[in-house]
Amino acid sequence: MPELPEVETVRMGLAPALEGCLFTKVETRRGGLRVPFSKDFAKRLTGRRVLHLRRRAKYLLADLDSGETLVVHLGMSGRMAVYAGGREQKLGQYVYGAAPPGAGSGKHDHVVMETDAPARIVFTDHRRFGLMTLVETVRLDGDKLFKDLGIEPLSGEFDAVWLAHALKSKKTPIKSALLDQRVIAGLGNIYACEALFRAHISPRRSASKVRPVSIALLVQAIKAVLKEAIKAGGSSLRDYRKADGDLGGFQHRFAVYSREGEPCPGCGGTVKRIVQAGRSTFHCPKCQK
């Protein structure tokens, strides 16, 4: 799925098309994403204006003038495409093309939203691990989707002291701890692997046994890799696209992720793949101790 950098890239792409705009028409095409649409979902969105588009962890949050927030999670394969009504139109830094015939009527197009910009926004998710729901804005933090989420890794509060404290009692491998959204919210498989490589930490090392000096390196590595990925427009593997349909570019800069058998950019050794908690981990056993 889109991890934090991909969601942030989509947010930046969508913001100019959504903020201040009013939903004139909303259609849901298939009932079942991860959470079924409530039956009045489309009705509660229609006629509402988007005040602000923000991100929490891997969730996109569109605050509406009705006091509700549209919550979007892209799952593993979710995509938000923007088509600006009928003609090419510059919205902020993004140029969106006209909607091609049939845009929004694809097999896996689940939600089609028209705005008064005018623009058409299509939520596509062939694996249906994504989610779209409405939550009362004031109750968002206490909602079950959000109440256990951990720290934002790009926030100022996320530092070595914080992380050392969070990992102190965790015996799970550091790689698994980094994927735990209750610890750090927004980190996923790609950037957990890349950050551990940059910090020279073995993914197998018990989280509580990572030394303070390494924890400081890890915090720096997480922040750096996320920032670089956002700057590159995220990573495109199979499904991910930016809101304007372009590919992200960070996948060309992976040091270890998806590079099993290839040379390690640090020592020239071989990148290995192991499985931890059912997920692939890529690492260099020589560089990462």
Partner DNA sequence: AAGTAGTCCTGAGTGC
Partner DNA sequence: TGCACTCAGGACTACT
Q: What is d(CA 46, CA 189) in angstroms, rounded to the nearest whole number?
A: 36
Positive or negative, the Cα torsion across 275, 279, 285, 288?
Answer: negative
Nearer to DNA, 88 or 169 (CB): 169
DSSP string covering 23-49, please? Answer: EEEEEE--S-SSSPPPTTHHHHHTTPB
State the nearest-atom distance from the C-beta of 24 to DNA, in Å. Answer: 29
Q: Does 58 bind DNA (CB under 7 A)?
A: yes
Contacts of 221 (CB under 8 A, 6+ apart): 194, 195, 196, 198, 199
Nearer to DNA, 87 or 107 (CB): 107
Q: Does 8 bind DNA (CB under 7 A)?
A: no
Q: Across the strands, what pairs with 50?
A: 64
Which 10-29 residues touch DNA, going by CB under 7 A?
none
Task: Examine the residue annotation and report whether 88 is marked as an active-site residue of this protein.
Answer: no
Task: Examine the residue annotation and report whether 56 is marked as an active-site residue of this protein.
Answer: no
State the nearest-atom distance from the C-beta of 3 to DNA, in Å. Answer: 5
Q: Does 278 bind DNA (CB under 7 A)?
A: yes
Q: Across the strands, what pairs with 111?
A: 28, 123
Task: Examine the residue annotation and report whether 3 is marked as an active-site residue of this protein.
Answer: yes
> Which range binds DNA by CB under 7 A, 39-47, 89-97, 223-231, 237-245?
237-245
Task: Examine the residue annotation and report whether 136 is marked as an active-site residue of this protein.
Answer: no
Instruction: Quickly list H helices, the chain.
Output: 4-18, 41-45, 160-167, 174-179, 189-198, 212-231
> Which range binds DNA by CB under 7 A, 44-52, 60-68, 113-121, 127-135?
127-135
Which 143-172 residues touch DNA, going by CB under 7 A?
145, 169-172
> Which range binds DNA by CB under 7 A, 20-28, 37-45, 94-102, 126-134?
126-134
Side-chain half-sphere CA neighbours of 19 within 13 A = 13
Give the burial class of 120: count Cβ atoms within 10 A of its Cβ; 0-12 exposed, 13-18 middle, 19 or more buried: buried
Q: Across the strands, what pairs with 179?
A: none
Q: Which of 132, 145, 135 has its CA nearest to residue 33? A: 132
Among the listed residues 71, 190, 195, 201, the single contact to DNA using CB under 7 A:
190
Instruction: Say which DSSP state 97 is in.
Output: P
Single-letter amino acid, residue 254: F
Nearer to DNA, 13 or 248 (CB): 248
Q: Does 107 bind DNA (CB under 7 A)?
A: yes
DSSP string covering 102-113, please? Answer: TTT-STTEEEEE
Q: Does 237 bind DNA (CB under 7 A)?
A: yes
Annotated catalytic residue within 49, 223, 253, 279: 279
> Which range binds DNA by CB under 7 A, 133-141, 158-166, 262-270, 272-280?
272-280
> Which range binds DNA by CB under 7 A, 86-94, 183-191, 209-217, 221-229?
183-191
Nearer to DNA, 69 or 176 (CB): 176
Active site positions, annotated: 2-3, 58, 279
The site for DNA (CB under 7 A) is made up of 1-3, 6, 34, 57-58, 73, 75-76, 107-108, 126-129, 145, 169-173, 176, 179, 181, 188-190, 207, 234-240, 248, 277-280
